[in-house]
Structure 1
Amino acid sequence: MNHPATPAFDPSRWRKSSASGSDGGCVEVNDSITGVVGLRDSKLGETSPVARFDRDQWATWQDEIRRHRLDGENGAVSVTEHSAGWDVRVSATGEILRFTGFEVECFQQGVNAGEFD
């Protein structure tokens, strides 16, 4: 049985929060696929695992971030907070994205500013 290929995100459409510096490490978001939002780690670039959210999951996750309640209601990722930052587990694959505290702070600022709505 053949399954359709998972659409690829447009590589030119990965973006980060305006609060992120130019040091290379950041949370990147891509919405180039209709109805889907991707999240990856810029430190890993093309080799980064990508968390895929449908629009409802993405809205729920942003709400979790704004409320500072990372309880996994979104269904796409679960987050473990620790002193060094976040481990974001992709529910569909089990892969882990690791973000530093600075990367998390910049991403949260972007979410709170509506940069990823």
Structure 2
Amino acid sequence: MTATLGRAGWRISSYSSNGESCVDVDFTASGVEIRHSQHPHGPRIEFTADEWTAWLDEVGGGVVTNDNGAVTVRTYDGGWLVTAMRTSHELRYTIAEIDAFRRGVLDGEFSRENALAATP
């Protein structure tokens, strides 16, 4: 992956079973963006660095409080509907996709420092 225009490059959790279906994350000069890896041209949700840290704490802790300042999460059939607070963009993830993301969060795969260190 090559960083361009202040971006680290899109990445998914190493725990994603098929490597294609997961929370897709990119670190930008101003924060972080997520999208669904199966819909790369679909909606994106932006986080500031502080909001991202707060959301990772929620996801990693297994308790989504919706106090991160960027997104709200509602469950449906075991999956998540993630809605941006500023834009109302929505992303839907299955339980398997959320589990892979959470495992990656717990392993530090989505910390800004680790992601930028891994960018060539």
Percent identity for Structure 1 against Structure 2: 35
Name segments (4+ residues, structure 1) moved above 4 Å. Answer: none
| 1:21 to partner: Cα distance | 2.4
Structure 1 portions without partners, runs of 5+:
1-7
Count of residues in Structure 1 that have an aligned counterpart in Structure 2: 107
- Corresponding residue for 2:103? 109
Distance 1:54 1:24 in 2: 25
TM-score, normalising length from structure 2?
A: 0.81
Residues 1:86 and 2:80 aligned together: yes
TM-score, normalising length from structure 1?
A: 0.83
1:37 to 32, 36, 43: 32
Residues 1:65 and 2:59 aligned together: yes
2:70 to 71, 76, 81: 76
Structure with bigger strand share is: 1
CA RMSD of aligned residues (A): 1.7
1:18-37 aligned at under 5 Å gives the runs 18-22=14-18, 24-31=20-27, 33-37=28-32
| 1:9 to partner: Cα distance | 7.5
Structure 2 portions without partners, runs of 5+:
112-120
Q: Partner of 2:18: helix, strand, or coil?
A: coil
Residues 1:49 and 2:50 aligned together: no
